[in-house]
Amino acid sequence: MNFASDNVSGAHPKLIEAIAAANAGPAMPYGNDPLTDAVTQRLRQVFEAPRAAVALVGVGTAANALALATLCPPWGAIYAHRIAHIEVDECNAPEFFTGGAKLTQIDGAHALLDADALAATLGAAGAGVVHNAQPGALSLTQATERGGTYTPEAVAGLARIARNHGVAVHMDGTRLANALAATGASPAEMTHRAGVDVLCLGATKCGALGAEAVILFDPEAHPGRAWELALRRKRAGHLFSKMRFVSAQMMAWLADGLWLELGATANARATALRKGLEAAGVEILTPAGVNLFFARLTAVQHRALQAAGAHYYTGPADTEGAVEARFVCSFATTEDEVNAAIAALS
Amino acid sequence: MNFASDNVSGAHPKLIEAIAAANAGPAMPYGNDPLTDAVTQRLRQVFEAPRAAVALVGVGTAANALALATLCPPWGAIYAHRIAHIEVDECNAPEFFTGGAKLTQIDGAHALLDADALAATLGAAGAGVVHNAQPGALSLTQATERGGTYTPEAVAGLARIARNHGVAVHMDGTRLANALAATGASPAEMTHRAGVDVLCLGATKCGALGAEAVILFDPEAHPGRAWELALRRKRAGHLFSKMRFVSAQMMAWLADGLWLELGATANARATALRKGLEAAGVEILTPAGVNLFFARLTAVQHRALQAAGAHYYTGPADTEGAVEARFVCSFATTEDEVNAAIAALS
Amino acid sequence: MNFASDNVSGAHPKLIEAIAAANAGPAMPYGNDPLTDAVTQRLRQVFEAPRAAVALVGVGTAANALALATLCPPWGAIYAHRIAHIEVDECNAPEFFTGGAKLTQIDGAHALLDADALAATLGAAGAGVVHNAQPGALSLTQATERGGTYTPEAVAGLARIARNHGVAVHMDGTRLANALAATGASPAEMTHRAGVDVLCLGATKCGALGAEAVILFDPEAHPGRAWELALRRKRAGHLFSKMRFVSAQMMAWLADGLWLELGATANARATALRKGLEAAGVEILTPAGVNLFFARLTAVQHRALQAAGAHYYTGPADTEGAVEARFVCSFATTEDEVNAAIAALS
Amino acid sequence: MNFASDNVSGAHPKLIEAIAAANAGPAMPYGNDPLTDAVTQRLRQVFEAPRAAVALVGVGTAANALALATLCPPWGAIYAHRIAHIEVDECNAPEFFTGGAKLTQIDGAHALLDADALAATLGAAGAGVVHNAQPGALSLTQATERGGTYTPEAVAGLARIARNHGVAVHMDGTRLANALAATGASPAEMTHRAGVDVLCLGATKCGALGAEAVILFDPEAHPGRAWELALRRKRAGHLFSKMRFVSAQMMAWLADGLWLELGATANARATALRKGLEAAGVEILTPAGVNLFFARLTAVQHRALQAAGAHYYTGPADTEGAVEARFVCSFATTEDEVNAAIAALS
């Protein structure tokens, strides 16, 4: 009963098998191998982006920071939600990779960026004024850190505002599989067709050992940036010599829609847990759909869940012992775990 | 017959098995798992360094750059051989991670640092002069990029010079297993007992999928640096959420001396290849012992090897078509491959 | 009638004279001259800080960024008001000089940091958690960008909170002369005795051509930081070869209390302007005391002032044409200018 | 008798006068003043570069580092002489401003870059190879740190090699006035007509208090770089609020050919000193022409000069007490000083 994060789960067996299969014979290093080529081809098909440039890395923070550094100069501002992972949980990685860009916080319910707030901030940003950080990049997380999801129309609306201010769009897709499974949108609809320039597609939280793809959908619209991305990856120490073992994960994850299947499973487990807790009297704080949600637990509920062995992160307790708790399910969460947690409150 | 690099080989089967075994059940992320703890304990034993701090990453460039940034401030100079990997092959990663330190080149045969050259450079370095880069760190590669190995005494001699100038010592141990197997020195003798402050221990080139350990041997001698190393790793995007899969590799690699066995195998293959080529009339340019060497191939020899399907890197051809070639064997190189290459010249 | 900024004024004649006087004969470069030594001695006396280390630069942004980089590591957070100059008007200079630290916004009326808000933010900052930016430095502006001033007690209160979280304190004293003149506090009381570690003392806005001092009050409490500050200044291109011309300004400015006299004059002009505008029906928005204030001008008032030739910065007009306007007086603002502006509204 | 450096001299009186004259009345800050506009116009005329973008700063290191950062990305290599000021005497400023570019040393007599050495290094640079620093910028110093001067043809030859490898050209013109006076070439011939993209024109060493111009000759050939240069200057803390005082220096320096006159005077003094020393038996080591030269002084000569009160920098003494000494004259060096030094050896 570990609901602490989707990264407490291991990897899907098919990815382990793929790694073992990739271990046959020599292969050219640093991504000059057939499997890595195949990943690029596969991602171009999946995202209907025939020219996309792809850079694989092993950690989501690296993917985000590399993508942002490619879009935003050192004197730029990156617009993100005030609780976005890149703002809160990456120990200044975006600032490091960009060479000192500034993260500017935008607000919005459920960690979804509010379009009006974004427009207001960009409108007052001081573009062209040498004293001010220059508008650099918009970063949105899909699904958000609070379990929110954008529709393709919502993404397009934010991207349009960004575009009007000359700002490129980054999507932190560490849970994109969950968001696509939840919304039914196609990969292309949710990303470049809605105006996303660069996607960080995260497989790690959804069944991989450690595999993330930075996808620059249209290198021709960003001259020189694909090569820059490759160089930035190398000098940040993220170009694996035995890249085939990352590529093997990504290929297996994308094969036969496994990624969306795993996302859907995680979503279903969270939905069941959510419903069960709600039925048991727990106040749910965030939207339904993807594989995580926040709830307010009374002191009694919290004790009961902990006594049953459930793991989850909480904020500080209020004066009556109530806490805000985050529950995350993964592809590996079982129905038994969900039921056991619900049973603890009955 | 791929002698291009030791990273063209895959992983040793025991490491693949270890990854599969590590995939059982949930584990806390970001290295807060038992396997990662076990790696630290194991490395402390292997290196007889009971207080050592350890940070695992997946790529050697990351290990080196993180280690150097922890030792050398932005206004510092890093002393390294003019063909050291950190100088030539990391796309300015040390400069990036340090925030703009300078690499200062030292010369020496076979990419081994010459002690007199180091002393002379440090003596003229301008320590205490605000206009000059300040002496920051010494970096030596064991074994070197030209197949040289330092004895523990040689390491100690260089470290003593460094210490006299207030300079910390980094060892790039991407091929330390080969060097230890070749010299018979113990891990402790070759590193901290000889004055090395931080070791980057590379498993990737010697049987891992992607696993490198940054080892700060004595955190008490470098107050605050262990925590700094942890923070630097995080903000560089090198803190794997599912760290157990890196740790599993490292544990299997260290178990029962496998790492030294694999290093010895690679060395033995290179030694056999070297002897065979030499017997066939090839001029060998670099010292014996570890798993790589350089040779001068006549145009005829080069054509014969290529016709036989041998892969290796060469420099530019001279006017008569002769080339300098690098041959690297790995733990996975077979005696058949070695013999086939030799046979091509008979 | 230029109330746009205190930097639209030139320099006080005594500083021009001092520059001319400093031009006699050769002097050793890079601050190794007697005038620069004298500045350090003088600042130690003025601030009753006999061990203080001093670094002169020519621009306030450089002073702030150097000071902050000396206090806060790349993985740190700098706590500052959301409209602080370092956050809004330095084009990411602190992020650049620190190597990627994060500015974290604190709120408070009149750009004065609210102590409770600071305590709450620091309490939730994630000290010791590798994913979060680590508490690095507190920055407060005296006087603030909205004309607020801290009492020594208020500074001490904020510094105490900072100290409890291991955070050093930086004061942006670009208008410290104005604040001291307004409050009557001594230089020592307002700074290191109240817990300030590093002061950026700005002469430029108050009569200099371009002269700012970074003062580290107690180098022994910050081992190595004085030398680090010197190196950072050099590598940022802020070590003037003919430093004597900056030092000459600073000496003349500090001589016989000229600096406080100029600050008092600027304050007096602003106070008179403020009273006059208020009497003429203008709504004043910010506290009295120093040399700048904000006011809400109706469309009619705004037109009248502009027609009379007054210069000042405004925010965007509201639907009825009213604007928020900033009025700044300097040591060089005349009573006639003040009276002319007031007369325009009569 | 101070021959230590041209920066031990003060400023030419006309520049002091210009500063005093610029102190009349208010002026818009941050370079939005008529004098600063006039500097740009004047430099465009002087250099026959009607579109040139100009950024004034106060320190030569800042000028160089800003220029190089505008030309060379973080993953780039800057090719410079192994004793170039940017390599030896700027405490890693270029590395800092570029975000971690690498300085690659080129050799050549008298600190003049050898064209063949440059071509060979660029030919082996690994352009397009992700592991290697990418060719970024060529930096040449005119006149060099050893008193060498390039002819316009020599500059053009180096620039052509650079251009063939896609590398932009930076000229460190801290002593350009001396070089132009010595060679008789026009400003345009020596710079952009010979292929220089960005010039750092130094007035400080030749009569200014502190004034340097970064000149991007053809912004249209470098889209976006002029604005980038402006932003980089701001965020590095080099945008003076009272810019008029820097501009006033530059205007006076350029007026009526004063700059070339001062350069010629300094050259003439050095030439006289050189001839006199040579006639007295001193071995001269470097070319004639500009305002500095190196000489080998016997122990006897060295003692005699020092006894007479001459100041100059020396390297370490050899076993017989002989030293290599640098002599620098400035616009302010007098014939009496020169004669006194010569007399000391008679």
pLDDT digits (tens, 9 = 90+) for A216-239: 999 999 999 999 999 999 999 999
Find the CB nearest D91 among B96, B98, B131: B131
Nearest CA in chain C to A89: C131
B contact set with C (CB within 8 A): 30, 73-75, 99-100, 130-131, 134, 228, 230-232, 234-235, 239
Find the CB nearest A204 among B27, B241, B246: B241
CA dihedral for D27, D29, D33, D36, sign (positive or negative): positive
Task: Give the model's confidence band at B346: pLDDT under 50 very low, under 70 low, under 90 confident, else very high.
Answer: confident
A contact set with D (CB within 8 A): 30, 73-75, 99-100, 130-131, 134, 228, 230-232, 234-235, 239
A114-131: pLDDT as tens digits: 999 999 999 999 999 999
Shortest Cα distance, chain D CAs vs residue A126, angstroms: 13
Shortest Cα distance, chain B CAs vs residue A122, angstroms: 27
- Residue B272, both tokens: 């056999």
Q: What's the confidence (pLDDT) of residue A222?
A: 96
Q: Do D241 and C60 touch (CB under 8 A)?
A: yes
A36-91: pLDDT as tens digits: 999 999 999 999 999 999 999 999 999 999 999 999 999 999 999 999 999 999 99
Share of chain B above pLDDT 90, in %: 99
Share of chain C above pLDDT 90, in %: 99
Q: What's the confidence (pLDDT) of residue A346?
A: 85
On chain B, the residues whose CB falls within 8 A of the CB of D130 are 91
Mean pLDDT over residues C152-165, rounded? 98
Q: Do C57 and D96 touch (CB under 8 A)?
A: no
Collapsing DSSP to helix, strand or coil, B265 comes out as helix
CA dist B112 and D238 (Å) reads 43
B contact set with D (CB within 8 A): 74-76, 88-92, 95-96, 98-103, 105, 130-134
Classify strands A313-314 and A323-328 as parallel, antiparallel or unpaired. antiparallel
Q: How many A/D residue pairs have CB atoms within 8 Å? A: 36
On chain C, the residues whose CB falls within 8 A of the CB of A96 are 74, 99-100
CA dist A191 and A67 (Å) reads 15
Q: Do A236 and B96 touch (CB under 8 A)?
A: yes
On chain C, the residues whose CB falls within 8 A of the CB of D246 are 210
Q: What's the confidence (pLDDT) of residue D125?
A: 95
Helices D244-254, D258-279: crossing angle, 10 deg rounding: 70
CA dihedral for D84, D90, D91, D96, sign (positive or negative): negative
Nearest partner of A60 among A93, A96, A36, judged by Cα:
A93
A-interface mutation test, from C91, C107, C130, C145, most A Cβ less than 10 A away: C91
* Residue B22 or A346, more confident: B22
Give Cβ neighbours of residue D296 (< 8 Å, ≥ 6 apart).
Answer: D282, D283, D285, D322, D323, D324, D325
On chain D, the residues whose CB falls within 8 A of the CB of A74 are 99, 235
Mean pLDDT over residues B162-181, rounded? 98
Q: What's the confidence (pLDDT) of residue A33?
A: 98
CA dist D182 and D261 (Å) reads 11
Q: Are C121 and C79 in contact (CB under 8 A)?
A: yes
Q: Do C131 and A95 touch (CB under 8 A)?
A: no
Nearest CA in chain D to A241: D131
Q: Do C20 and D25 touch (CB under 8 A)?
A: no
Q: Do A28 and B16 touch (CB under 8 A)?
A: no
Shortest Cα distance, chain D CAs vs residue A105, angstroms: 21
C269-298: pLDDT as tens digits: 999 999 999 999 999 999 999 999 999 999
Nearest CA in chain B to D90: B131
Low-confidence ranges of chain D (pLDDT < 70): none
On chain A, the residues whose CB falls within 8 A of the CB of D228 are 73, 75
Find the CB nearest B102 among D74, D95, D130: D95
The mean pLDDT value of chain D amounts to: 98
Q: What's the confidence (pLDDT) of residue B196?
A: 98
CA dist B203 and B196 (Å) reads 19
Nearest partner of B313 among B82, B12, B87, B6, judged by Cα:
B6
Mean pLDDT over residues A91-100, rounded? 98
Residue C346 has pLDDT above 90, yes or no: no
- Residue A58, both tokens: 């092993």
B296-323: pLDDT as tens digits: 999 999 999 999 999 999 999 999 999 9
Nearest CA in chain C to B99: C99
pTM of the prediction?
A: 0.97
Q: Do D102 and B88 touch (CB under 8 A)?
A: no
Nearest CA in chain D to B78: D92
Q: Do D240 and C58 touch (CB under 8 A)?
A: yes
Find the CB nearest C101 among A92, A131, A134: A92
C contact set with B (CB within 8 A): 30, 73-75, 99-100, 130-131, 134, 228, 230-232, 234-235, 239
On chain A, the residues whose CB falls within 8 A of the CB of B206 are none
Q: Do D100 and B102 touch (CB under 8 A)?
A: no
Chains with 3+ CB–CB pairs under 8 A to C are A, B, D
Shortest Cα distance, chain C CAs vs residue D11, angstroms: 6
B-interface mutation test, from D85, D89, D90, D92, most B Cβ less than 10 A away: D92
The mean pLDDT value of chain A amounts to: 98
- How many alpha carbons lie under 13 Å from residue A278 in its C-beta half-sphere? 13
On chain D, the residues whose CB falls within 8 A of the CB of C13 are 23
- Residue D162, both tokens: 């650079």
Give Cβ neighbours of residue B131 (< 8 Å, ≥ 6 apart).
Answer: C30, C234, D88, D89, D90, D91
Find the CB nearest B91 among D91, D103, D133: D133
Classify strands A134-141 and C53-57 as parallel, antiparallel or unpaired. unpaired
Q: Do D27 and C8 touch (CB under 8 A)?
A: yes
Nearest CA in chain C to D29: C8
On chain B, the residues whose CB falls within 8 A of the CB of D132 are 88-89, 91
Shortest Cα distance, chain A CAs vs residue C71, angstroms: 16
Give Cβ neighbours of residue A171 (< 8 Å, ≥ 6 apart).
Answer: A139, A140, A141, A142, A155, A191, A196, A198, A199, A200
On chain D, the residues whose CB falls within 8 A of the CB of A134 are 231
CB D272: neighbour CB atoms within 10 A? Answer: 17
Find the CB nearest B59 among A8, A96, A239: A239
